[in-house]
Structure 1
Amino acid sequence: MKIAVISNLFEPYQRGGAEKIAKIMADTLAENHDVFVVSSKPFVTLDSFKTSMDSYQASFGKEIKVYRYYPLNLFYYLNDFKYPAIIRLFWHIIDVFNWDSANQIAKILEAEKPEIVICHNLKGLGYMLPRKLKKMNIKQILVLHDVQYAVPSGLIIKDRENSFASDGLFTGWYQDINKLLLKNIDILISPSKWLGDFYKEKGFWLDKKIEILNNPIKVDEKLIIKKTTFDNKKINYLFVGQLETHKGIELILKQFENKNDILQVVGDGTRFNELKTKYNKINIIFHGKMENSKLKELYSQADYVIVPSVCYENSPTVIYEAFNQGIPVIASNIGGIPELVAHNQTGWLFEAGDSISLQKALENSAKTVNYEAMQQNCLKKVREFDIIKYNEKLNNLLKS
Structure 2
Amino acid sequence: MKICYISNLYPPNVLGGAEIIVEKMALELVKHGHESIIITTSPDNEKHVINRDNTKIYQINTTKLYPVYKQTEASGLKKPFWHLFDLWNNSTLKEIKKIVTEEKVDLIHINNFKGLSLSCFKAGKDLNIPVIFESHDFSLICPRANLIRGNNTLCQQRNTICNQYVKIQRKLLNNNVDLLISPSNFMINKFKENKFFNNTKTVKIPLGIDYESEKSEKNYNTLNITYIGSLGKHKGVHTLIKAFKTIKNDSIRLHIIGKGYEEEEFKQMAKPDARIIFHGFVDNKNIRKFYDMSNIIVIPSICYDNSPLVIYESFSTGTPVIGSNIGGIPELIEENVNGFLFEPGNSESLKEKLLKVINDKELLKKLESNSAKTLPSNSLDVMVDKLISEYSKLLN
* Pair in the same fold by TM > 0.5: yes
Distance in 2 (alpha carbons) for counterparts of 1:83 and 1:52: 24
Shift of 1:103: 2.3
**Unmatched segments (≥5 aa) in structure 1:** 58-62
> What residue is the counterpart of 1:60 in the other structure?
none
Supply the distance in 1 between the matched residues of 2:237 and 2:333 (Cα, whole angstroms): 19
Q: 1:377 aligned to 367, 370, 376, which one?
A: 370
User: Corresponding residue for 1:39?
Assistant: 40
Measure, in 1, the Cα distance between the counterparts of 2:75 and 2:281.
Answer: 25
Q: Which amino acid aligns with 2:160?
A: L
Hey, what does 2:154 align to over in structure 1?
160
Does the 8 Å contact 1:120/1:143 carry over to 2?
A: yes
Q: Which residue in 2 is equivalent to 1:10? A: 10
Contact 1:235 1:303 in 2 (8 A): yes
Give how far 1:211 is off: 0.7
Matches of 2:224 and 2:180, distance apart in 1: 39
Is contact 1:37-1:67 (8 Å) kept?
yes
Alignment of 1:299-318 (within 5 A): 299-318=291-310
Amino acid at match of 1:39: T
Name the structure 1 match of 2:82: 91
Mark the CA change 1:102 to 1:385 in structure 2 (over 3 Å): closer, same or farther. farther
One-letter amino acid of the structure 2 residue matched with residue 234 of structure 1: T
Deviations 1:162-189 (A, max 9, x none): 35xxx11122222222222222111110
Q: Match of 1:174?
A: 165
1:148 to 139, 152, 163: 139
- 1:114 offset after TM fit, Å? 0.6
Q: Aligned partners of 1:184 and 1:64: how far apart in 2?
A: 26
* Residues in 2 aligned to 1:16 and 1:3: alpha-carbon distance in whole angstroms: 22
Q: Which runs of 5+ in 2 are unaligned?
A: none
SS in 1 for 2:222: coil
Alignment-derived partner of residue 253 in structure 1: 241
Contact 2:294 2:319 (8 Å CA) reproduced: yes
What pairs with 1:19-34 in structure 2 (closer than 5 Å)? 19-31=19-31, 32-34=33-35
> Given residue 367 of structure 1, which amino acid in structure 2 is its aligned partner?
N
What's the offset of the Cα at 1:253? 1.8
State the TM-score, normalized to the length of structure 1: 0.90
Q: Compared with structure 1, are the counterparts of its residues 227 and 253 closer, same or farther at alpha carbon in structure 2 (3 Å cutoff)?
A: closer
Q: CA deviation at 1:77?
A: 1.9
Relative distance call for 1:227 and 1:250 in structure 2 (3 A) is: closer
How far off is 1:220 after superposition?
1.9
How far does residue 88 in structure 1 lie from its aligned partner after superposition? 1.2
CA gap 1:54/1:344 in 2 versus in 1, 3 angstroms: same
Task: Return the letter of the residue paired with 1:380.
Answer: K
Return the match for 1:390 from 379, 383, 394: 383
Matches within 5 A, 1:70-109: 70-109=61-100
Q: Is the 8 A contact 1:8 1:40 kept in 2?
A: yes
Contact 1:247–1:310 (Cα < 8 Å) also in 2: yes
Runs of 4+, deviation exceeding 4 Å: none
Residue 287 of structure 2 corresponds to 295
Contact 1:227 1:372 in 2 (8 A): no
CA contact (8 A) 2:42 2:48 kept: no
1:314-355 CA-to-partner distances (Å, cap 9, x unmatched) read 000100010011100011110000000111111111111111
| Larger mean Cα displacement after TM superposition, 32-41 or 348-357 | 32-41
Query: Which structure 2 residues correspond to residues 232-381 of structure 1 after superposition, within 5 A?
Result: 233-257=221-245, 259=247, 260=250, 261-280=252-271, 281-368=273-360, 369-381=362-374
Correspondences of 1:184-263 after superposition (within 5 Å)? 184-221=176-213, 223-226=214-217, 229=220, 233-257=221-245, 259=247, 260=250, 261-263=252-254
**Contact 1:220–1:325 at 8 Å: present in 2 too?**
no
Secondary structure, aligned partner of 1:96 = coil
- Structure 2: how far apart are the matches of 1:276 and 1:227? 27
- Indicate how the Cα distance of structure 1 residues 278 and 355 shifts in structure 2: closer, same or farther if over 3 A, else same: closer
Q: Which residue of 1 aligns with 2:59?
A: 68
Instruction: Check if 1:56 corresponds to 2:44.
Output: no
Q: For the residues of structure 1 that align with 2:40 and 2:84, how far apart are their CA atoms? A: 20
Look up the equivalent residue of 2:172 and give its one-letter code: L
Which residue matches 1:120? 111
TM-score, normalised to structure 2's length?
0.91
* Count of residue pairs brought into register by the alignment: 383
Aligned-pair identity in percent equals 31
Paired residues of 1:228 and 1:372 also in contact (CA < 8 A): no
**CA RMSD, Structure 1 to Structure 2 (Å):** 1.9
Question: Separation in 1 of the partners of 2:65 and 2:210?
Answer: 38
